[in-house]
Structure 1
């Protein structure tokens, strides 16, 4: 159990406090980086990379209110032909015949290809499964604070600053556990500010 807890804290720390390489600098990749844990981001980054090198649109059919986009996936089994059913609007609908989202809760390169085609800047919330996000298991500091705020810009910024303070504190504590003197200095400064 101790090994599991250690690995969980280590992975959680890496996901929250480090930034992975961003090879494409697309807004979808940036959004995935903010949302997903490090290992899930690596999976989604590979899918986004696949939109460049493995997907080729073949034909688009309009069947109101949906677009049916046939594409060739150079790495798929059999003939590699797949179909993405897509509806743009407030309630975006996207499904692919590869069924990756339905099977594991992660988007495939085919749906990402269509999102990029329609210039999506963010992954729609309905296609982000909470179990793959950084915040699915709150860390000890997050449990201490109630950060449920509305979407007001001022409150949103305050929430972002609060998270940043908690992450910085968590980072400092993690790095100073073996340096008692500096840990005491940080504690004393925080007491002064309190």
Structure 2
């Protein structure tokens, strides 16, 4: 902050009252930016289409990860898909220009909704756990409605954090569906606090 203020707002000849005024403006802008970021993190990320798959991922992924998905979706529009066989496709780069730096312009993609098998020759999902543009464009063209849960890594989701309550017996309690009771407890608290925050912002609550 000290470096930022000296570089962009004041110098050695700045009077004290002018320094105080500029510092006040800097702090106000910082608080406003932090407030916007807090509100944006609590809200559901904005989608760029009405595609059901995108709506699903917007509710699962964190805002930062979902933005990466949107970038991959836009980049995927540079490719053309050719169906080779049942559930198998060839994705070809369909534009000429310096924006494409890879030496390979064709990728073999497996997109089998019945078997829930989605794979790409580029191996991006295997390396990062995120869908590549080639898979996204094929899934869009094939109108895949939902992504199987095995392709959504927990570390990228909003519920990635686990904060179990203290238990002096040090035992893991598991519900009938196999989910830890502590995880269910934390998720219910998160939903309850979200309802409270929504009520605080509503006009009806202020009447």
Name the TM tier (shorter chain).
Answer: 0.5 to 0.7
Contact 2:92 2:106 in 1 (8 A): yes
1:91-122 superposed Cα distances (whole Å, 9 cap, x missing partner):
31111011100000111121122222222221
Q: Which runs of 5+ in 1 are unaligned?
A: 1-9, 151-159, 176-194
1:61 aligns with 2:88: no
Q: Counterpart in 2 of 1:153?
A: none
Q: Counterpart in 2 of 1:42?
A: 67
Q: Name the structure with the higher helix share.
A: 1
Over the aligned positions, Cα root-mean-square deviation in angstroms equals: 3.6
1:56-109 superposed Cα distances (whole Å, 9 cap, x missing partner):
0134134xxxx32111135461241111023231x3111101110000011112
Q: Counterpart in 2 of 1:154?
A: none
Q: Counterpart in 2 of 1:70?
A: 90
2-structure distance, mates of 1:69, 1:121 = 18
What is the DSSP-based 3-state SS (H/G/I as helix, E as strand, rest coil) of the residue aligned with 1:58? strand
1:25 aligns with 2:65: no
Q: Counterpart in 2 of 1:184?
A: none
What is the DSSP-based 3-state SS (H/G/I as helix, E as strand, rest coil) of the residue aligned with 1:98? coil
Counting matched residue pairs gives 147
1:130 aligns with 2:157: no
What is the DSSP-based 3-state SS (H/G/I as helix, E as strand, rest coil) of the residue aligned with 1:47? helix
Q: Counterpart in 1 of 2:113?
A: 88
2-structure distance, mates of 1:147, 1:117 = 40
Contact 1:29 1:48 in 2 (8 A): no
Q: Which runs of 5+ in 2 are unaligned?
A: 1-35, 167-172, 178-186, 202-207
Higher relative contact order (CA 8 A, sep 6+): 1
Distance 1:148 1:24, change over 3 A: farther
Distance 1:143 1:29, change over 3 A: farther
**CA apart distance, 1:14:** 4.4
1:165 aligns with 2:192: yes
Q: TM-score, normalised by structure 2?
A: 0.58
What is the DSSP-based 3-state SS (H/G/I as helix, E as strand, rest coil) of the residue aligned with 2:58? helix
Q: TM-score, normalised by structure 1?
A: 0.61
2-structure distance, mates of 1:125, 1:12 = 28
Alignment counterpart, residue 117 of structure 1, candidates 119, 141, 146: 141
**CA apart distance, 1:18:** 1.5
